[in-house]
Chains A and B, each alone.
Chain A
Amino acid sequence: MTSFVPKLLATAALALTLTGAPATANAASEGPKPPARHWPHQGMFGTFDKSALQRGFQVYKEVCASCHSMNLLSYRHLEALGYTPGQVKAIAAEYMITDGPGDDGMMFERAGRPADRFKAPFANDQAARAANGGALPPDFSLIVKARAGGEDYLHALLTGYEAPPAGFEMNEGMHYNKYFPGHQIAMAAPLIDGQVAYADGTEASVDQMASDVSQFLAWASEPHLEERKQMGFKVLLFMAVFAGLLFALKRKVWAGAH
């Protein structure tokens, strides 16, 4: 009879997992579910593929960055992609940053430094909208966490442009995308084969670029992922051993109880 309670609790736990899952997954209910892909940083042992991150950063820098900001990132964060401090300095120096006011009370332009935030393509949201037919290109700092489906959704979106099905009513200036909620997206297909010349010689197909930039943006959303998992193993190992010792202790103490 006492096993009744644990059984009930197990049922409750199961029910909670079942009810919890749809709550996180159904935001993009309007489009088809993006196909699940395998990502190197997935799973307990997954780590970022640094060459993919560097390629993804190149795609972001040469393609996405003309419209999409990444306001939460600084150039110094790029060292996590495997760049040397010197390379990061050089990347930052490619941008002119408005600083000041100086001693003369005027704002001035200077070359970027590793401590600077990524330079945004537009001065403010209104300027971004004005340049994009009224649509606001979202900031990319957290885009993988801020979209249901994460990396899978981004990859599907970037490769999901196609001609609208017959009879589908399109609004002025919108583009049909299989995976975008409502299927009408203001952004035209951003990637074409061979758009970037990868430094490592990888062929820049749309699929490859979509995959690389999705991995780069996954890193940007969760930069401490590897550190978190590494610490997790140590913590769980410690907890398992500690639990084992406590169980032995409890058994020993209770041996004389009845």
Chain B
Amino acid sequence: MAHGSAPKTEFKNPVVRWIDARLPIFTMMIKEYGVFPMPKNANYLWSFGGIAMTMLGIMILTGIILAMSYTPSTPDAFNSVERIMRDVNYGWLMRYVHMNGASFFFIAVYIHICRGMFFGSYKQPRELLWIIGVVIFLLMMATAFMGYSLPWSQMSGWGVTVITSLFSAFPLVGDGLVTWLWGGFSVDNPTLNRFFALHFLLPFVIAGVVFIHVWALHMTGSNNPTGVEPKSTKDTLPFNPYFTSKDSFALVVFLTLFMAVVFFAPLSLVHADHFKPFDPMVTPPHIVPEWYFLPFYAILRAFTFDIGIPFTGIVVLPAKLQGVIAMFGSIVIWFFLPWLDRSPVKSARFRPIYKWCLAALLVSFCALGYAGSQPAEGLPVIIGQIATLYYFVHFLVIVPFLPRFEKTLPVPATISEDVKRK
């Protein structure tokens, strides 16, 4: 962000001038958030990056406050969370903001990702920006998963057991890997201790990677609904005051919805088993992860038969390993999206067929969410399998091969031309 060669702004205030001559922080802020050129047609979907960043800040702040009263040990963790809820001043508020904040952070990030996929924000020259974003999403998933374990409830303990046990599917190293993750031979105190340590650390790692994400964004500039790069100053508006005012409004509307849930429906996304202390001897009838993991959980469970050499009984790929590979693969595939998509047109606005393929992807992702929330039997399994099939067909067949057949609509020459046409 800070370029030594960038032209210095003249400041009237002598203190500001003194500081800026030694550390050009004011110059940088003006360059990146004052005069920074934004495509003038960027709509409210472009506000969700800033919203997600605010949610990260809220999570770190409430998380640190919660950590001050939380005890990461198996006999005390559950009761220390309840002490926060009952006896710590405004502890209930901090916890409900943190608990539901995770959901709203994921809502913002999912919208942000959908926007990127629809308008082709992953394409040249923003490939690295996109990849860094996928890294952030993976870090968020790890952080959220470990945070879910901290109250040491039935859902926490059994969620940890189910997800860490996935690693046992890997041949040869699997069992050793699981023991290493647990820090012992079962999910126990060492597991909770390390999950707490990592849950505290990772948000700061995320903040660092977000900084790099924003840095990369400010090199290429923002994409826009046309997918056409700005050609002149007529296509852009300075970030301040245009997008500071627009983003602030979007942020406050989003936070209003968030606060409505925190104060009036804070338990709407929580399962009753999250309020029973973890008992390793009693398995809950129905173990489910948080809603934002359900689609991936459904992909994991979509593989129901072993693949082997026929008539020999030799299993080459057990169902569990297929599921684990597919689940991790479903996100790893995003890393390759910039190169899988061969279309010269960025925005799906001008791709009449691909637009509907993306809609089908969103529908199948939601269907996966439904399948993941249900017990693994009957119709939900079949829905999950069909949706998993479409998910991979979309990324591995439709995205690379559709551009050969699709007739795209005429793309406007400039952003201004597109804005005038409406």
Interfacial residues, chain A to chain B (CB-CB below 8 A): 1-2, 4-5, 8-9, 11-12, 15-16, 18-20, 22-24, 26-27, 29, 44, 72, 77, 141-142, 145-148, 181, 221, 223-224, 227-229, 231-232, 235-236, 239-240, 242-243, 246-247, 249-250, 253-254, 257-258
Q: Are B294 and A19 touching (Cβ within 8 A)? A: yes
- With the chains together, A257 CA to B118 CA distance in Å? 26
Point out the residues of chain B lying under 8 angstroms from A240, CB to CB: 256
Q: Does B276 contact A (CB under 8 A)?
A: yes
A58→B226 CA distance, assembly (Å): 68
CB of B340 closer than 8 Å to a CB of A: no
Is B40 in contact with A257, judged by CB distance below 8 angstroms?
yes
User: Contacting B374 at CB < 8 Å: which of A22, A236, A254, A257?
Assistant: A22
- Decide yes or no whether B231 CB sits under 8 A from chain A: no
Q: Which residues of B are in contact with A by a Cβ distance under 8 Å?
A: 40, 43, 45, 79, 82, 85-86, 92-93, 96, 110-111, 114-115, 118, 225, 237, 241-242, 245-246, 248-249, 252-253, 255-256, 259-260, 262-264, 266-273, 275-276, 284-286, 288, 291, 294, 349, 355, 359, 362-363, 366-367, 369-370, 373-375, 419
Using known A-B contacts A15-B369, A22-B374, A253-B241, determine if residue A236 contacts B259 with beta carbons closer than 8 Å: yes
Nearest neighbor of A239 in chain B, beta-carbon distance: B256
Whether A223 touches B249, Cβ cut-off 8 Å, given contacts A146-B275, A229-B263, is no
B263 nearest in chain A by CB position: A232
A236-B252 CB under 8 A given contacts A147-B272, A254-B246: no
Query: B86 and A235: CB pair below 8 A?
Result: no
A15-B366 in contact (CB<8A): yes
Determine if A239 and B252 form an interchain contact, defined as CB atoms under 8 angstroms apart. Answer: yes
Residues of B within 8 Å of A231, CB to CB, are 93, 263
**A23 near B275: Cβ-Cβ < 8 Å:** no
A2-B225, A72-B86 given; A19·B370 CB < 8 A: yes
Set of chain A residues within 8 Å of B268, measured between Cβ atoms = 20, 24
Residue contacts A-B, CB under 8 angstroms, 24 given: A4-B349, A5-B118, A12-B366, A16-B369, A23-B294, A24-B270, A24-B271, A24-B272, A27-B285, A77-B86, A141-B82, A142-B276, A145-B267, A145-B275, A146-B272, A146-B273, A148-B272, A221-B275, A236-B256, A236-B259, A239-B255, A253-B241, A253-B245, A257-B237
Chain A interface mostly helix, strand, loop or mixed?
A: helix
CA gap between A242 and B288 in the complex, in Å: 38
**Which A residues lie within 8 Å of B419 (CB)?**
258
Asked if residues A72 and B79 are in contact (CB atoms below 8 Å), the reply is yes
CB distance from B383 to the nearest CB of A (A): 11
Given A24-B268, A223-B86, A18:B246 Cβ within 8 A: no
Q: Is A250's CB under 8 angstroms from B249's CB?
A: yes
Q: Are A22 and B245 in contact (CB under 8 A)?
A: no
User: Could you tell me the distance in whole angstroms from the C-beta of A55 to the nearest C-beta in chain B?
Assistant: 22
Assess whether A236 is in contact with B260, with CB atoms less than 8 Å apart: yes
Q: Which 9 residue pairs across A and B have the least CB separation, nearest first?
A: A232-B263, A15-B366, A23-B373, A146-B275, A239-B256, A246-B249, A145-B275, A19-B370, A250-B245
**Of A146, A228, A242, A246, which contacts B93 at CB under 8 A?**
A228
Do residues A243 and B93 form an inter-chain contact, with CB atoms below 8 A?
A: no
B114 A9 Cβ-Cβ under 8 A: yes
Q: Using Cβ atoms and an 8 Å threshold, which residues of chain B touch A232?
A: 259-260, 262-264
* Least CB separation from B256: chain A residue: A239
Taking A145-B275, A146-B272, A240-B256 as known contacts, 7 extra A-B pairs with beta carbons closer than 8 A to each other, sorted by chain A number, are A8-B359, A15-B369, A24-B268, A72-B86, A146-B273, A228-B263, A249-B249
Find the B residue at minimum CB distance from A143: B275
- With A5-B45, A15-B369 already in contact, the answer to whether A243 and B253 are too (CB < 8 A) is yes
Contact between chains at B252 and A246 (CB < 8 Å): yes
Min CB distance A65 to B, Å, is 19
Q: Complex Cα distance A77/B83, Å?
A: 12
Given A11-B362, A236-B263: A27 and B114 interface contact (C-beta under 8 Å): no
Q: Are A18 and B93 in contact (CB under 8 A)?
A: no
Q: A253 to chain B: which residues have CB within 8 Å?
A: 241-242, 245
Whole-angstrom CA separation of A181 from B286 in the bound complex: 13
Contact B349 A19, beta carbon cutoff 8 Å? no
Residue of A nearest to B92 (CB): A224
Q: Is the CB of A44 within 8 A of B370?
A: no
How far is A254 from B38 in the complex, measured between Cα atoms in Å?
A: 13
Least CB separation from A220: chain B residue: B86
Q: What's the least CB distance linking A246 to chain B, in Å?
A: 4
Bound-complex Cα distance A238 to B366 (A): 34
Which residues on A sit within 8 Å (CB–CB) of B374?
A: 22, 26
Question: Are B248 and A246 closer than 8 Å at their CB atoms?
Answer: yes
**Is A27 in contact with B271, judged by CB distance below 8 angstroms?**
yes
Give the residues in chain A near B242, CB-CB below 8 Å: 253-254, 257
Asked if A16 contacts B366 (CB within 8 A), the reply is yes
| B248, B260, B272, B286: most-surrounded residue (chain A CB, <10 A) | B272
Q: Are B291 and A19 within 8 A (Cβ)? A: yes
C-alpha gap A18/B349 in the complex (Å):
28
Whole-angstrom CA separation of A23 from B369 in the bound complex: 10
- Tell me if B259 and A23 are in contact (CB < 8 A): no
Chain B residues near A2 (CB-CB < 8 A): 43, 225, 349
CB distance from B411 to the nearest CB of A (A): 13
Q: Which residues of B contact A254 (CB under 8 A)?
A: 242, 245-246
A142 contacts across to B, CB distance below 8 A: 82, 275-276
* Residue numbers in A under 8 Å from B269 (CB-CB): 20, 24
Q: Would B273 and A23 count as touching, CB distance under 8 A?
A: no
A239 and B259 contacting across the interface, CB-CB below 8 Å = yes
Contact status A72-B355, CB under 8 Å: no
CA distance A210 to B43 in the complex (A): 54
Q: Which residue of A lies closest to B267 (CB)?
A: A145
Q: Which residues of B contact A145 (CB under 8 A)?
A: 267, 272, 275
- For B284, list chain A residues within 8 Å (CB): 27
A29→B375 CA distance, assembly (Å): 11
| CA–CA, A231 and B286, complex, Å | 35
* Given A23-B291, A231-B93: A12 touches B114 (CB 8 Å cut-off): yes
Cα-based distance from A9 to B45 in the complex (angstroms): 10
Residues of B within 8 A of A20 (CB): 268-269, 291, 373
| A19 pairs with B92, CB closer than 8 A | no
Which residue of A has the minimal Cβ distance to B416?
A258
- The closest CB in chain B to the CB of A72 belongs to B82
